[in-house]
Every structure is written in C-alpha cells, then in structure tokens.
Homo-oligomer: A and B are copies of this chain.
Amino acid sequence: MNIYDVAREATVSIGTVSRVLNGGYVKQATRERVLTAIHKLDYVPNSGARSLGLGRTGVLGIMVPFFTRPFFIEVLRGVEMAAAKAGHEIVLYNVETDQQRDNYFKRLPMRKRVDGLLIVSLRPDDQEATRIREAGLPVVLVDAYHPFFTSIVVENTGGARMAVEHLISLGHRRIGFVNGMVEGAFHFNQADDRLNGYREALMAAGIDFDPTLIYVSEWNRAGGMKGGDALLRRDDPPTAIFAASDLQALGVLEAMRQHERNVPHDVSIIGFDNIELAELLNLTTIAQPMCEMGTIGVEQLLHGKDEPPRTIQVEAKLVQRQTTQRLFTGVT
C-alpha cells in the first residue's frame, strides 16, 4: 500500500497524490478522487520514507536518567505535552548506567533519528559537546548546563539558600544537609550549586559552616534514609535537615520515624523539587517548575534553532507545609 497504489487507483501521478497530502495546488475534483482512493485503500504514508526524503523525522528524543523518578516524570509530562501540541512524537532514551550514557552521547546525535534532543539532568563533557554541536542536531539541556547549548535550570543556589534561610528564620542554627551525589559519571552539578546556597545562607546568618553536618547520598529515598540516620546518630544531632531532593527528604522522614523523633516538633525537614508526594505527605519544600521546564525545553528545541545558546533560569519557590516549625527552645 504505497503512494503508487493510490496514484493508480485515482488515475493520477504520485506527484499529485503527494500534493494532496502535503497541501499543494490541486484541482478540487482531482483532490477528491485522490482522497477517495486514499480512503478506499486505507493508505497511510510510510513515515520512514517520508523522513528520508524530508530530512526530518517529526520525532524528538529525550534522554533522561532513571526516568521513573518523580522529578523526571514531571519533566517528561511537560515534554510530552509540548511535543504533542507541536505534532511531534517523543522517543525515550533512559539512562541507568555510565555505559548507556556514553553510548547515547556518542551515537544519538549523528544518527538523525530525531529532529532534536532534550537532555535532562545529564551534562556532556566538552569533547562530547563539541561532537554534538558539529553533528548539527539541536540540543537543549534541562536541569543541566553547558555553554554550547540552551539550558533550562532552576536557581539551584538561590533555592537552596531559600530553604536554609527558612530554617534559620524558624530559629534553627544546627542545620544538617543531605546533599545528592554524583551517580555514576553522570556529571550532575546541581549538588555543588545547592551546597553553595546552603553555605551562603549560613554565612549570611553568621552561623559557622560545619562540614560534618553534611551527608552526601544518592538522589533517592534509600539515600535520604542513610543521611537522616547518620545525622541523628551524632552527639549533637541537627534540629533541622535540608534534603537536596524531596525523595531524599522522604528517606529522612523515614529515618526520623525509626529514631522516634517527631517531625516537625523535634526536627524540621525541608526538601527540594515539590513532587506530588510532597503535597501528599505535607512536606515543606522548595518548588521548581518541573513540568514547565520540560515544556520550555521543547519549545526551545523547536523554535530556538538558530538563536545562540542561552541559559534560562526558572524560579524556585518556598512551599511551606507541615514538616518545618519554629525551633522548640523549652522556654515559654
């Protein structure tokens, strides 16, 4: 069932069929004959052949680590919405190992299977970035940064500072920090920025920076649990804990439960991201517009083609819920 069959059925040439399909000038009567033939034969253009001729595929690639984590799902949601609206399909490149990451960075951009590539939370090194740029494939980074590409990032430093300032404003001075770690060789750099925010807030309040109050864990619940546990085993446990992601904050909450500390009475907890679960569990957190970041990313991919790369910073917002409260000093 190809374009020749339709042409024969409608007794026209394939050129005419193509024009009917792609909106060229065709006499009304001819158009109708072709349309009837198409309908009768149940003809649908072969998209592979189409992209070969056209030089584009109508497909956007999205490269994302651990896509089942809530943060990435939210970004994906935004991506899907924007792509669907623009009539593009999306193919998912999930990254769980260094090997996958390297493989994708090396091959994906030159295969021309996609019209654009959205990379989430993964940072190409300079050599990879150079190769990608030379391949000419539009690339946009979300939650990651590289000078060669348009990047959408939340104000990581500012957001972290906001979180810690919130805790300080509640009277806390011994504030633990469960930060995220580099998983594999993925080159996340959010962790550094958030650490800077943490330090800035302390410094501004005249609180000494104590590196032993920092625990670096994986960006998931198990990691958060380990962090919360470690911080509570100290002789002088912190009265508040800032976790670099909501998932880690959930782990911290679990650790608190195991240590039989009441949140927020004994310990205040604040997370980062504002995933759906945070609302469900009443977790105070720093919200970043995850879905929107995905949407913006796709729009940049589609419409920001030839503009020079730029960094789009989106706002973080404090969402106060019920896991943080004024430090109980024992005084009335």
Contact = CB atoms under 8 A, between A and B. Distances in A.
Interface of A: 1, 42-49, 51-52, 57, 59, 67-68, 73-74, 76-77, 80, 84, 89-94, 100, 107, 110-113, 131, 134-135, 250, 277, 280
Give the 9 A-B CB pairs with smallest separation, nearest first.
Answer: A44-B110, A47-B113, A91-B91, A48-B51, A48-B52, A47-B111, A44-B111, A80-B94, A68-B77
Contacts of A76: 67-68
A238 to B, nearest CB: 24
A44 B107 contact: yes
A124 B93 CA distance: 28
19 contacts: A1-B110, A42-B110, A42-B131, A42-B134, A44-B107, A44-B110, A48-B52, A48-B113, A59-B91, A68-B74, A80-B92, A84-B94, A89-B92, A89-B113, A90-B91, A91-B92, A250-B280, A277-B277, A277-B280
Given A52-B52, A68-B76, A46 B111 contact: yes
Nearest to A107: B44
Contacts of A112: 46-48
